[in-house]
A and B are shown apart, each in its own frame.
Chain A
Amino acid sequence: MLVFIIQRILRMIPLLFLLSLVAFLIIQLPPGDYLTEHISRLRASGRDVDEAEVERLMNQYALDRPMHIQYLTWIQNILTKGSFGQSFQWGRPVNEVIGDKIALTFLLAFLTTFFVWIVSVPIGIYVSVRQYTFTDYLVTLIGFIGLAVPGFLLAMVVMYFSFTWFGVKVGGLFAPEFELEPWSMAKFRDMLTRIWVPVVILGIGGTAHIIRVMRATMLDELRKQYVTVARAKGLSEFAVLMHYPVRIAINPLISTLSFLLPWVISGGTVVEIVLNLPTAAVVLYRALLSQDMFLAGSFILLVGTLALTGSLLADIALAVVDPRIRFGSAEEF
């Protein structure tokens, strides 16, 4: 098991290197950079530019040097100082801008997954043992609607009706009075009363999807002989289901955990913009629009790293629940 984990972590290192390279190339590809654009804009409006400040930034990030030097400088700052550079757009270090956004995104991703699993796994199990009954068809129908309706549309519909019917504004994660406040118990409580709306909206598609996956793998497993053998021991039907087919049908779901974070960031962007959420996706979107290169690059790097870590954790979890994977990897040595 330890061998498996170490091996898996070692395999991540080249991936991380490639990731940083790609992240850097992506932000360098568009012509120009924020700094030159910013300076020309200032000059055009006739304002004075602090030459010393420009010089300092140029030097710090090696902006006038060739690309590979720029890359090395960027990486060096990250690895040695933990500094991701300066966000030109916000006028603050990237670390400050990103910090709580990433945390909020994580929270959102975590809660959404929790919601999706809590709802879809039991339903998936239930419809698999009631295949071709009315309930099965009903869940399938609702599931397809859930899959087909885009999240942002659902978000707008929810916002519209909650405002016209109940006079409640559901956008945002915080009430206006807490928006700019530092974190406190009251702010946290306020957030919890609002966060379920994006969680449910973001989760609908995933729920429908996981129900389908769960139902399909369960139907496969239920036909296997070990289920009949388990029944032949005299176990109750519930114990048979939980200890045998569900134990195996849950494995493909664990591996989907690794796509979770990229999914919330890329797939949920439109929903999050519509709902006006202060999450990473929205910030990344703006950073890309305004060529805020260090912010965008660091975001891509961070999200990529988190996704890799997610898949590492999912793999380890999978190895814990499925001995075939655990022993399969040990045999390679």
Chain B
Amino acid sequence: MASDENAAEPRETLLEIRNLKTHFALDEGTVRAVDGVDLEIGRGQVVGVVGESGCGKSMTAMSVMRLIPPPGRIVEGAIRFHRQFNGRAGAADIIDLAQFEPNSRPVRDIRGNQISMVFQEPMTALSPVRTVGKQITEAIRLHQNVSKAEARDIAIETLARVKMPNPAQRIDDYPFQLSGGMRQRAVIAMALACRPQLLIADEPTTALDVTTEAQILDLLRALQAESGMAILYITHNLGVVAEMAEEVVVMYLGKVVERSDVDSIFYDPKHPYTRGLLNSIPRLETVVQDKKEKLNAIEGMVPGPYQRLRGCAFHPRCPDFMPGICDQTEPELIQLEPGHSVRCHLFNGSD
């Protein structure tokens, strides 16, 4: 979804994450899975989060849902959700999800209701011993004051919205009777049943084949356009980001290293890591021209989880490494222009 909107018009904020730190205190040391993330999502906006495995993108999403598995814990920061009550536009009340206990009432009221999530593996996301319908109506009955029959109608209607073939029959099927694509549709229906204001999609298409992936992406875009919900789309696939997102957030080792609108990320990337990511996409032209050309990869490996690096976390792998600066002080997030910021010493040169 390349942004065709007028970027000038300021959007109403839906979710703001401020200096979020989610740490796992293990015997071997503390893993800083999320280490000071700042993120904003406007109402109805599609934000893509990209990064390598282990960069903390899923953990950021899980922190918002307060579904961090123990011993992980939010140690600092705020997750402010601007909750809008039905029908009353503008009247939003702000709730800081980071303040509550993970399974507390206020969190559970929002979870699956105003914020819901679609997970990676549709194959294991549904319980094999309960029908699809039961698993969908459960959420509806929980958050809406409706009867069993009404909840079933809503569930069928939602299944129809996600283009499930024969929704009225499929609702009584068990997950193992559905194909992978249909299961992911069912999972999406489950997330959409209560018409959330924010949908967090954590690599919802990684486990699916390419054709099904394209269908699911189309579906998500159509649903977003129809309902006006915001989507936080997490993926390592830059192609998907280009297709889906208006805004892109690049993460590395628990931190946001670059944030910008989707065009700037692809045509004018600033951070060496972002550039590295883009370079590592195989290009058809070069493959055709020179068959011997190797795939570009970012040098080195992601440092071990218990390691804490001085200075910029990316400096051991960075092609523009500046000794004495990058390995000494940690860069701040610098705003280059409105809507485009980067966390790198290269752009600190104005002074």
Mark A residues whose CB is within 8 Å of B. 224-226, 228-237, 243-244, 247-248, 321-324, 327
Contacts and interface: CB of A to CB of B under 8 A. Distances in A.
Interface of B: 65, 67, 69, 103, 108-113, 116-117, 119-121, 124-130, 135, 138-139, 142-143, 174, 176-177, 187, 190-191
Contacts of A248: 127-129
B174 A226 contact: no
A315 to B, nearest CB: 16
Given A225-B119, A235-B108, A235-B142, A324 B125 contact: no
12 contacts: A224-B124, A231-B103, A232-B112, A233-B139, A233-B190, A247-B127, A247-B130, A248-B128, A323-B129, A323-B174, A324-B176, A327-B174
A327 to B, nearest CB: 7
A234 B103 CA distance: 9
B108 A225 contact: no
A236 B103 contact: yes
Contact of A226 (B116, B125, B138, B177): B125
A243 B130 contact: yes
A231 B85 CA distance: 23
A191 B181 CA distance: 60
Contact of B112 (A233, A237, A244): A233
Interface-central residue, A232, A247, A323, A324, by most chain B CB under 10 Å: A232
A95 B138 CA distance: 53
A268 to B, nearest CB: 33
B129 A229 contact: no
Given A248-B128, A323-B129, A229 B174 contact: no
Contacts of B142: 233-235
A214 B339 CA distance: 53
A234 B117 CA distance: 11
| Pairs A-B, 7 closest by C-beta atoms | A234-B112, A233-B112, A234-B111, A233-B139, A225-B124, A234-B108, A323-B174
B28 to A, nearest CB: 15
A322 B129 contact: yes
Residue from the set A230, A231, A233, A243 with the largest chain B CB neighbour count within 10 Å = A233
Contacts of B116: 232-233
Given A228-B67, A247-B127, A327-B174, A234 B121 contact: no
Contact of B138 (A228, A243, A321): A243
A146 B300 CA distance: 54
Contacts of A228: 67, 69, 119
A234 B113 contact: yes
Contact of A233 (B111, B124, B128): B111
Contacts of A233: 111-112, 116, 138-139, 142, 190
B188 to A, nearest CB: 12
Contacts of A243: 127, 130, 138
